[in-house]
Amino acid sequence: MIGSTLTSVCCVMVAVLAAAACLDVPKVRLSSGGDIPIVGLGTRQANYEGELETALDAALQSGYRHIDTATIHKNEHTIGKVLNKWFKEGKIKREDLFVTTKLPVYGMRPADVPVFLNQSLTKLQLDYVDLYLIHMPFAVKREAHDNGIITEDSIDKTTDHLAIWKAMEAEHYAGRAKALGVSNFNETQIERLLKHGAIPPANLQIELHLYHQQRPVVDFCKKNGVSVTAYAPLGSPSYRWLSPISGKELPDLLELTEVNKIATKHNKTSAQILLRHTVQRGIIVIPKSFKPDRIRQNIDILDFTLDDSEMAELDALDKGLDGKRFVMKHIEGLWKHPEYPWTALLNSTEERPKSSN
């Protein structure tokens, strides 16, 4: 029902581990051969290290086997520490786990790829990652990051996606990255890799939620065998935001009447309806929460189905480009980078995006 690309694999439960739920989490088959669990834990923005440790323990106990991180999150060492503890206690095996990390925006040169992946692997205490993504299509200079000052001068316009991809492929051949993919790339940029790369990208991670359903890109990816992961799948809730495209104020998706109504009907929360809607389209979700009850809630979306009319009602709430919130304008002048992916969305390249985070 979720899609023919899904294989349902029951998580292997070690007998001593009464605490770990044996959840039947569906997986999406990757073109590279592996399987990615359709629900993963987003790990952005821990306030303190212990908060993330508690969250990871709760997630693993709740049946999560997919962890999403990135070099820029600066939390890989904590993830490594917790995973290592679970391995040592024999509660989980490496092959049952799916770990994604990302090449940072300040590591966008071919020679940087092995350096940053090695650093990530050391921190994660792993020999390989299941998925290595290029985090952003654009780039800043390495020094800019090292000295902590990122201005318009920091932008590195020399970015060569194909050369970087070749270095990514070398990591795959060396066994350090099982699958390769990209994040925040637009169709033109993905097409270039599909056409000229030796290994096609296995995954695209993009902003995707009820108000920004990304239908054209998802269709494009489906056609080309690229799996899609939704970041900000709850729309990064709890504050209203201005659409950077239309300038209009958008609501908290968790409070929408239509979503609440469907939630009540299924005895689920709004968050669960939002996630279920996306998962039922065959799209992987990585909701971020550090609260154990929400972490459990966000994976407890596999025991019910939205019917066709509910799906249609939710589909109709798509605001298209107006529902987009991430245009990464926090780096001054970034939109002038030749690989800035959303130029066509902004009506003038002379004008900076209006609002985002």
Ligand X SMILES: *[C@@H]1O[C@H](CO)[C@@H](O)[C@H](O)[C@H]1NC(C)=O
Ligand Y SMILES: NC(=O)c1ccc[n+]([C@@H]2O[C@H](COP(=O)([O-])OP(=O)(O)OC[C@H]3O[C@@H](n4cnc5c(N)ncnc54)[C@H](OP(=O)(O)O)[C@@H]3O)[C@@H](O)[C@H]2O)c1
Instruction: State which of residues 291, 304, 312, 349 lies at the interface with ligand Y (CB under 6 A).
Output: 291
CA atoms within 13 A on the CB side of 251: 10
CA dist 56 and 50 (Å) reads 10
Tokens of 176: 């350090």
Interface with ligand X (CB under 6 A)? 114-115, 118, 186, 188-189, 267, 339, 341-347, 351, 354
CA angle 10, 14, 15 (to 5 degrees): 120
The answer to whether 39 touches 53, Cβ cutoff 8 Å, is no
Considering only the stretches 4-12, 282-290, 308-316, 317-325, report the one whose residues sit in contact with ligand Y under the rule CB under 6 A: 282-290
Instruction: State which of residues 31, 213, 227, 298 lies at the interface with ligand Y (CB under 6 A).
Output: 298
Contacts with ligand Y in 218-257 (CB under 6 A)?
231-238, 254
Q: State the binding partner of 229 from ligand Y, ligand X, none, CB within 5 to 8 A by kind.
A: none
- Give min distance, CB of 18 to ligand Y, in A: 25
73 is in an annotated binding site: no
Distances (CA, A) of 127 to 121, 130, 171, 182, 341: 6, 10, 12, 21, 32
The answer to whether 123 touches 74, Cβ cutoff 8 Å, is no
Distances (CA, A) of 238 to 159, 161, 253: 36, 36, 9
Q: Which is nearer to ligand X, 75 or 189 (CB)?
A: 189
The reply on whether position 347 binds ligand Y by CB under 6 A is: no
**Nearest residue to ligand Y, by Cβ distance, number only:** 42
Q: Which residues bind ligand Y (CB under 6 A)?
A: 42-44, 68, 135, 183-184, 205, 231-238, 254, 269, 271, 286-291, 294, 297-298
Enumerate the known binding-site residues for substrate: 135
